[in-house]
Amino acid sequence: MNNYTQALLGASGITVGQAKTCLYYAQSTYLLPDKLEKVPILDITGPLGTGKSDLLKQLARMVKEPKIISGETTSTLRDELDGVVTALIDEGDKINEMLLIKRYSKANSTITYKIAKDRGWNTYTGNLFGATIICRRLPFENSAAKSRSITIRTRYNPGKYEVIDTDKKFLEDIVKMVNISMKVSQRVADNWLPLRAIAMASGDEDWLKYSDEEIRKDTLSLLAGQGYEPEEAVLITLKAKVISPPRDTLISELKTSLKNEFDLNLKNYQIRQVLTDMGFKIVTGGNYPMVKSDEKLLDKLMTERNLKGV
C-alpha cells in the first residue's frame, strides 16, 4: 500500500497521515452503495497553489466510479449528483452545501422536484447518496456540512507534482475483507468508521492512532460549534411561530429567527428545500413564499427528533 500513499503525497503537500486518510476514503467508495448507510464528505481545504486539484486528480484514479461535477447552480448540481457513486468537485466554494449534506445518509438522500414535460409538470424523485470529494479555499459555512466531513488541510509544498495511474482492482480486493459491523452513535466517529474498518483490515495501527486523535479534535470542534442541525433548528423555529389559530409562516420570518436564535445563516431557497424534504408544502401569500401550516406533521417530526419548542 505504500506506493499508493506515495502517489497521494506526490500529488499534494500533505502529511503521511492525511495521505492515508485519503487512501482509506478512496477504498471506502468500493463499499458503496450497499455496504454503507452513511458516507462522509472528504473536504480538501487550503489556499491557492497548495496542490488541491492535483490531489483530486490522483484520487480520481483510485475511487469507484468517479464523476467530475462542474455545475454551480442548484438545479444543475442536483442533476449532476443524482445516482453518482463518487462525486469529484474542484473549486467548490460557491455550491449549494445542502445538496452535499443530502449525499451523507442513505436514509435521507432522496430528493423530489418538478420538471417541465408536455406543457405540464412531472414529479421526479432522485437519489443523491454517495461519496463526495470537494476542493475548497474556505471552510464550509453550514455547520451540518462541517459535521459530516473529514477535512484535509493542504499547505504549500514546492515540488513537481505528478499524477499517476493506480490499480483500482487491488484496492477493491482489499475492501472485500472489510467488516463494517461496528455501530457508533456519535457523528464524528460515524464519519471515520468505514476508513477505520479498512485500516483495521490492513493492520495499520499507526494510522488508527492518528485517526483517534483526529476524531478527538473534530469532536471538540463540533461540540464548541452549532448545537443543532439545520432541520432541527428549522423545526424548533417553525414550532415557535405556530400560534392559535394555526397560520402559514413566511420563509423570511424563519430566516430571521434562524439567524437570531441559532446563528444559522440559511438562504430562503435552502429553508424551502429543508421544509419540502421533510414533507411541508410551500405556498404563496401576497407574492411571498410561506410554509403551509401542518401541526400534525410538525408535532410528528418534533417527537421523532426528541425536540421541544422554545
| Those residues with Cβ within 8 angstroms of residue 154's Cβ, 6 or more apart along the chain or in another chain | 12, 13, 14, 44, 45, 46, 47, 50, 51, 52, 55
What average pLDDT score do residues 280-285 get? 88
The answer for residues whose C-beta is within 8 angstroms of residue 282's C-beta and 6 or more apart is 251, 272, 275, 276, 289, 290, 291, 292
The CATH number of the structural domain formed by 2-224 is 3.40.50
* The amino acid at 124: Y
Q: State which amino acid sits at residue 10.
A: G
Predicted pLDDT at 90: 95
Q: What is the pLDDT of residue 308?
A: 63
Q: Tell me what pLDDT residue 81 has.
A: 95
pLDDT at 224: 53
Rounded to an integer, the average pLDDT of 203-227 is 82
Q: Does domain 230-304 have CATH number 3.90.550.10?
A: no
Write down the pTM of the prediction: 0.73
In the chain, domain spans: 2-224, 230-304
Beta strand extents in the chain (DSSP E only): 41-45, 66-69, 86-89, 110-117, 120-127, 131-136, 149-153, 249-250, 282-285, 288-291
CB 147 within 8 Å of CB 187? yes
pLDDT tens digits, one per residue of 222-278: 665 545 667 788 888 888 877 556 788 999 999 988 877 776 778 888 888 889 888
The predicted structure's pLDDT at residue 181: 66
Q: Beta-strand (E) ranges in 103-163?
A: 110-117, 120-127, 131-136, 149-153
Best mean pLDDT range from 17-31, 102-116, 172-186: 17-31
Range with the poorest average pLDDT among 75-89, 108-122, 184-198, 281-295: 108-122
DSSP string, 147-199: HTEEEEE-----S--------HHHHHHHHTT--------SHHHHHHHHHHHHH
CA distance 14 to 152: 8
Q: How many CB atoms lie within 10 A of CB 66?
A: 22
17, 210 Cβ separation under 8 angstroms:
yes
Residue 201 CB neighbour total at 10 angstroms? 16
- Per-residue confidence (pLDDT) for residue 228, from 0 to 100: 61
